[in-house]
Amino acid sequence: MCGRFAVTLPPDAMAQLFAAQPANDLPEVPNYNVCPTVQVHVVRLGETGRSLLPMRWGFLPHWYASETAGPLLINARAETLAEKPAFRAACRARRCLILATGFYEWTKDAEGNRLPWYIRRADGAPIAFGGVWQDWGRDEDRRSTCAIVTTGASEAMSRIHHRMPLILDPEDWPLWLGEAGKGAARLMRPGDEELLSFHRVHPRVNSNRASGPELIEPFDESD
């Protein structure tokens, strides 16, 4: 799964990287502790091409009467994406890219303490998570919401967690967004073994109130 991430790339650099028209109300960056229900940076395909927009991280199916009317859907499993009522329409027609610099995952020690890890692309490039989106609400309450698609973990990632977010390379973006026709389902697989690097970070990131660049710095308990 993916329950927390970091984003540090400036919006103008995001727009250039994804060849997308940026909105004027994008979330502030850097943010080293992006948590569920906040606004995140999303690229989606519209009538005039790619747009870089803010969306609520937490997919809201159209039948939710309120934001808390059902489970918080921050992730969507690739294996059941086309079958689940919440996601199956979005899987076909509303796929997006969710931007990040890296993400967090946790293991546990013998005493059950949560040990956080920071995971990023080994080549240092920004991350594009495969996602799905849904507009929810009416009139002034209408908002766009999204979820990150997840797959089974690669062998390297499985040392930390049995799931991982779907990470798409630039050559796959057109197919995922729907610009290159059909067949996006074939992209829903774990990344290559060499795709990611990871290191332990300080337990302060266990708090969703923590902030600052030190959250992604390597941490050694023996220091």
Mean pLDDT throughout 45-52? 94
SS3 for 94?
coil
First to last CA, the chain: 30
Name the residue among 20, 8, 87 with its Cα closest to residue 53: 20
Nearest to 192 by CA among 152, 155, 149, 163: 155
3-class state of residue 13 by DSSP? helix
**Which of 67, 105, 146, 179 is labelled catalytic?**
105
**CA dist list (Å): 25 to 52, 54, 149, 186:** 10, 7, 25, 33
**Could you report the per-residue pLDDT of 113-127, keeping only the tens digit for each?**
999 999 999 999 999
Of the listed ranges 7-11, 135-139, 148-152, the one predicted with least confidence: 135-139
Per-chain mean pLDDT for the chain: 95
Q: What is the pLDDT of residues 158-179, one digit of tens each?
A: 999 999 999 999 999 999 999 9
Q: Known catalytic residue: 91?
A: no
Does residue 102 surpass a pLDDT of 70?
A: yes
Beta bridge partners of 54: 41
Report, as an integer, the average pLDDT of 47-62.
Answer: 96
Domains of the chain (ranges; CATH) run 5-216 (3.90.1680.10)
Q: Say whether pLDDT at 40 is over 60.
A: yes
Catalytic residue among 2, 91, 96, 146: 2
Q: Express each pLDDT in 187-222 by its tens digit.
A: 999 888 889 999 999 999 999 999 999 999 999 876
Burial class for 199, CB neighbours closer than 10 Å (0-12, 13-18, 19+): middle
CA distance 164 to 180: 25
Q: What is the pLDDT of residue 222?
A: 62
Q: How many CB atoms lie within 10 A of CB 130?
A: 26
Share of residues in the chain with pLDDT > 70 (%): 99
Quote the CA–CA distance of 134 and 55 in Å, as a whole number: 9
The enclosing H or E element of 175 equals helix 173-177
Strands 102-108 and 163-165 come out as unpaired
State the pTM of this model: 0.96
Asked about 2 being catalytic, the answer comes back as yes
pLDDT at 223 > cutoff 60: no
Cα angle: 104, vertex 6, 206; to 5 degrees: 45
